């Protein structure tokens, strides 16, 4: 049964796991085929390509492809790819857990996914969905009637999480991605931050995210991060008594030499010269001890 079957919206059904497996593929090319069940493919390592009748998807670690029932597809692995495959279907009836039609009514992301009716979707996971899937499989493996309720609970949670990932794909605009990157930098500038980490947090390929951010802001993600760190460093130099040798650690730059070189490049003077030039009022300076106490609250 398709995820988009109208019966799932109005009549009591419950999802069931039909088949699942871990598999490492090596230089493999599958013939086009389709399943009666809905399929989810989680890439755990390596990369692969999945072709449907209309699209070709390149998948890497942390990505999921959703294939609705009866969707023709084939898997192509050039080198190697380890993945987890899950196939589910729906049965009519009621269990102790609320039927799927109730979940559909209550969850906005699920309603959006079922309204868009995409036969296949490439999704970007931040590990939460896969962890839910692992808990689900642990319950399925127990093969006990006592686990039925937990299987229903976890499978429903898994579908809602997948719908949440799909909602991001439907609704996220380039400007929204840029805003999320900026917010991430504002919250994490005080530690080492990599573009790949930011891309994972916003569910986009690093290369594509770089292009989106550059178009939106006129600068690269790395340069935006450096500029924001320099802004914070200037505030600390002008408004606090934090030692210049300690400031790099407050802004995620653990090398004093790199901090000094970068500061001079962007501000056109040394940190010590900037402090002398801008600290006019001793009474307005925030003491480093005050900042430490605030950070401990």
pLDDT of residue 219: 95
pLDDT of residue 287: 52
pLDDT of residue 296: 41
Phi and psi at residue 279, in whole multiples of 5°?
Answer: -90, 85
Q: Report pLDDT digits (tens) over 20-39.
A: 999 999 999 999 999 999 99
The residues, any chain, with a CB within 8 Å of residue 183's CB and separated by 6 or more, are none
| 91 membership: H or E segment, kind and range | strand 73-92
| 160 membership: H or E segment, kind and range | helix 148-171
CA atoms within 13 A on the CB side of 78: 7
- Euclidean distance between the first and the last CA atom of the chain, given in angstroms as a whole number: 53
User: Which letter, b or e, does each residue of 55-82 get, where b requires 16 or more Cβ atoms within 10 Å of its Cβ?
Assistant: eebebeebbbbbbbbebebebbbeeebb
The closest of 15, 63, 36, 60 to 160, measured between CA atoms, is: 15
The superfamily (CATH) of domain 7-171 is Jelly Rolls (2.60.120.10)
pLDDT of residue 294: 43
Q: What are the residue ranges in the chain where pLDDT is below 70?
A: 126, 144-146, 171-173, 280-297
pLDDT of residue 292: 46
Cα(9)–Cα(70) distance, rounded to whole angstroms?
A: 19
Phi and psi at residue 115, in whole multiples of 5°?
Answer: -80, -35
Tokens of residue 176, six digits: 């929204």
Q: Residue 181 burial by CB count (10 A; 0-12/13-18/19+): exposed, middle or buried?
A: buried
Q: What share of the chain is helix, strand, coil (3-state, %, to 5)?
A: 50, 25, 25
- Cβ atoms 22, 141 nearer than 8 A: no
Q: Where are the domains of the chain?
A: 7-171, 175-296
Phi and psi at residue 156, in whole multiples of 5°?
Answer: -65, -40
The residues, any chain, with a CB within 8 Å of residue 74's CB and separated by 6 or more, are 29, 30, 31, 32, 33, 50, 51
CA 198 to chain centre: 9
Cα(24)–Cα(22) distance, rounded to whole angstroms?
A: 7
Give the CATH class of 175-296: mainly alpha
Q: Residue 258 burial by CB count (10 A; 0-12/13-18/19+): exposed, middle or buried?
A: exposed
- Cβ atoms 85, 39 nearer than 8 A: yes
């Amino acid at each position: 049964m398709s995820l988009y079957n109208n019966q799932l919206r109005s009549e009591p059904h419950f999802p069931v796991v039909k088949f699942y497996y871990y598999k490492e593929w090596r230089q493999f090319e599958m013939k086009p085929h389709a399943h009666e069940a809905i399929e989810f493919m989680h890439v755990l390592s390596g990369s692969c390509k999945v072709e449907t009748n209309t699209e070709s998807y390149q998948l890497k670690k942390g990505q999921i492809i959703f294939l609705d029932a009866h969707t023709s597809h084939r898997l192509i692995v050039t080198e190697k790819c380890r993945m987890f495959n899950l196939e589910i279907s729906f049965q009519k009836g009621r269990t102790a857990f609320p039927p799927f039609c109730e979940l559909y009514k209550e969850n906005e992301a699920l309603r959006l996914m079922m309204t868009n009716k995409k036969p296949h979707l490439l999704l970007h996971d931040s590990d939460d969905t896969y962890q839910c899937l692992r808990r689900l499989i642990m319950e399925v493996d127990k093969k006990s009637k006592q686990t039925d309720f937990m299987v229903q609970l976890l499978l429903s949670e898994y579908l809602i999480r997948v719908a949440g990932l799909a909602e991001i794909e439907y609704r996220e605009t380039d400007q929204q991605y840029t805003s999320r990157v900026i917010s991430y930098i504002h919250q994490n500038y005080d530690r080492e931050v990599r573009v790949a980490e930011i891309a994972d947090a916003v569910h986009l390929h690093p290369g594509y995210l770089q292009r989106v951010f550059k178009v939106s802001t006129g600068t690269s993600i790395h340069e935006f991060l450096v500029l924001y760190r320099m802004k914070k460093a200037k505030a600390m130099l002008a408004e606090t008594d934090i030692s210049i040798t300690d400031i790099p650690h407050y802004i995620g730059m653990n090398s004093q030499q790199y901090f000094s070189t970068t500061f001079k490049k962007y501000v056109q003077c040394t940190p010590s010269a900037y402090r002398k030039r801008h600290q006019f009022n001793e009474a307005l300076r925030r003491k480093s001890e005050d900042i430490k106490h605030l950070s401990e609250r």
